[in-house]
Amino acid sequence: MADKTVTIGSKLPNGLILNHPMDRQTKVTIRGLNSAPRGTNGQPMALPYVTTEVPSEFWSAWKLAHVTQGNTFKPFASGAIFECGKGAEAAYREREKEKTGLEPLSHTDSGVKPATKD
């Protein structure tokens, strides 16, 4: 039973450490986009999400404590971290348009104009 895991997706740029609600010594690190595989140039690949395998017993206890009506952990409520029950790609597609507030800014939306040669 201890071998069962749950796949958790993350759209956060950095990782997130979750503490077990009953045992503060037990922690799980949810990977962030900066931990994506590196390309040939050494930079992280531009992926929309990354996944982390979390022990199912840990996830059940954590979710019971932090995902409740009206008081849900903000990154979970915003879709920044999500459970991939139907597969990571399908779970991401359901939340693709949800904004977490941590997306990179668009250069055109922020008024930045390309440099011109004089």
Q: What is the mean pLDDT of each run of 10 residues along the chain (118 residues)?
A: 81 90 93 84 78 92 84 85 75 67 67 75
The answer to the question of residue 84 being in a domain is: yes
The answer to the question of residue 109 being in a domain is: no
User: What is residue 93's predicted lDDT score, i.e. its pLDDT?
Assistant: 66
Domain that holds residue 81: 5-95
Task: Indicate the pTM of the whole model.
Answer: 0.72
Tell me the two tokens of residue 58. 């840990």
Total number of domains constituting the chain:
1
DSSP string, 1-68: -TT-EEEEEE--SS-EEEEPSS-TT-EEEEP-GGGSPB-TTSSBP--S-EEEEEEHHHHHHHHHHH--
Q: Is residue 114 helix, strand or coil? A: coil
Q: How far is CA 19 from CA 2, 59, 101, 102, in A?
A: 18, 10, 23, 22
